[in-house]
Amino acid sequence: MALRSVPVQRRTAHASVSFSSVTIRRHTSSSSTRLPLVPLWIAGGPVTSSSRTTVITRHSKTRKDSCEVVVAGEEETIRAIRESRKAFQTWRDVSGWERRKILGKVLSLLQDRFPEFTTALRADGAWSDLIVHADQASAVNLTDGAVQTAISVEGTIPQTIDGSLTMVTREPYGPVLSIPAFNFPLTLTLRSIVYPLACGNTVIMKSSPLIPQLSSLFGPLLGEAGLPPGVLQILNFSEEDVAERVEQIIADDDVRMVNFTGSIKLGRLLAEKCGKYLKPSVMELGGKSPAIVLPSADLELAANNILFGAFANSGQVCMSTERVIVHEDVAEQFEKVLKETAEKARWTGGMELVRLGAAKGAQSLVDDAVKAGARIVYTASSSDSSSSSTSYPPTIIKALPSAATLSNTESFSPILTIHTAPTVPSIISLANSHETGLTSSIFSKDLSQALEVAKQLDLGAVHVNGMTIHDQHGLPHGGWKSSGWGRFNGQGAVESFTQTKNIRICGGGGGRLPLEMLYNGS
């Protein structure tokens, strides 16, 4: 089964292929040679040609050609897998302290190269200064966490009933296929690499077609930090055969697990493949994160944090606040404060979206909601233009019917919906009603009540008087229900990227067994 089905349009001069995420043009003219070339990274070095061809990617906003990308075919994919397995035989035995040293060097080099990473990122898409700086700070925090994780892989010596000495060790899986999301580019790409490496695995990373120039910088960075050749492979795929190549990797016996961050839709398909080939996985999928406003809440604080959590990075965050659930005792007042707070921000026009067609998709969700009976409380758009082909304005909607598509779909855009409930139990029920369970917020001055509510939420994280978007290396990060399984950060990463082994040492002569009893019958 293909990971996704896409329409293909072919032409004779420049064979164009259009997809939901990126539009590419096959290189048939020497004019494209002036573009930056994005290589593969295999066995510790760049690979500038392949059995496939190259593709041209376009800037997410200007739609101008941004770079030429070397894509891996079946041959390069096999080579990457074999090199990864070969490197694992020695990398698994590298001490945690040595891995810590290498990752510490990664951290140092990363900060020195922030300008280079920013240039590469903006060469492929539109990113605000706020997100770039927040992404850098997050990447530093996360990599620092991986440095500590490298020396935190520990086993146990449990008591036994037979007097044997038993050690339970934690061992790496082997080569890991890592597929990061694009939306917090530096952080999520690094996270897909450094935590598996810290635990002794090797990594085959599938780069994002939306940020290929950024992705290409990680191989040289880790190589200079001292990572042995083959421990990290970076592969680019064409949208035509990405499904085939990804399944090729998952199916290969040398690849031992899958690490994916992305949409629920793709997560289901990848989980199906993992099930088919019996490969363990870590899945950090989407959400429909609720923010709960209780009667005692500081409404201005709640409005500020909720709006930031909803519209940061244009809503393109899996932890974005998508739903506000307000106790009816303060619903009218909160709606007024929320709208006034949004107006004071003086937003005008649309917020940039990276994925091609995302603005059209957001408008479709809003149109469907309004048609079903929802009402727009606030929009930053002017009266004559609500969005462009690459952007969508911050929009707040209330009275959303359950039948509307937006009610159950993660918008991944700057759209926030307001819901009202008469009691605390009904608020909890509404918050738990969605299939996802990644993160949430509760706003209340009554901390005792907030904690009681937090215990009853089916979500991986609950932030009291803070926004839904939050992650730091000392805290386990991951979702419940359809938001996935496995955890990043600290001990969560150790448990996700290692497996247990029971090593039992029996006493000298005490282990003899009564062979004569085997045939005694009754």
The closest alpha carbon to 36, from 213, 234, 210, 236, belongs to 213
φ, ψ for residue 260, nearest 5 deg: -130, 135
Q: How many CB atoms lie within 10 A of CB 44?
A: 18
CA 128 to chain CA centroid, Å, is 19
b/e map of 99-110 (b: 16 or more CB within 10 Å)? bbbbbbbbbeeb
User: Structure tokens of 122?
Assistant: 């903006």
Question: Do you know the residue count of the chain?
Answer: 522
Burial class (CB in 10 A: 0-12, 13-18, 19+), 60: buried
**Is 452 one of the annotated active-site residues of the chain?**
no
Residues 353/392, Cβ–Cβ less than 8 Å: yes
Residues 66/59, Cβ–Cβ less than 8 Å: yes
CA 186 to chain CA centroid, Å, is 11
Q: Which of 68, 83, 247, 284 does the annotation list as catalytic? A: 284
Residue with tokens 């937006």: 406
Contact partners, residue 433, CB within 8 Å, separation at least 6: none
Residues 47/24, Cβ–Cβ less than 8 Å: no
Measured N-to-C along each axis, helices 129-149 and 96-112 cross at an angle, to the nearest 10 degrees, of 160
Q: How far is CA 73 from CA 2, 22, 69, 173, 471, in A?
A: 16, 19, 13, 25, 36
Q: How far is CA 450 from CA 295, 297, 319, 382, 517, in A?
A: 11, 10, 20, 39, 63
The closest alpha carbon to 224, from 444, 45, 429, 37, belongs to 45
- Residues forming the active site: 284
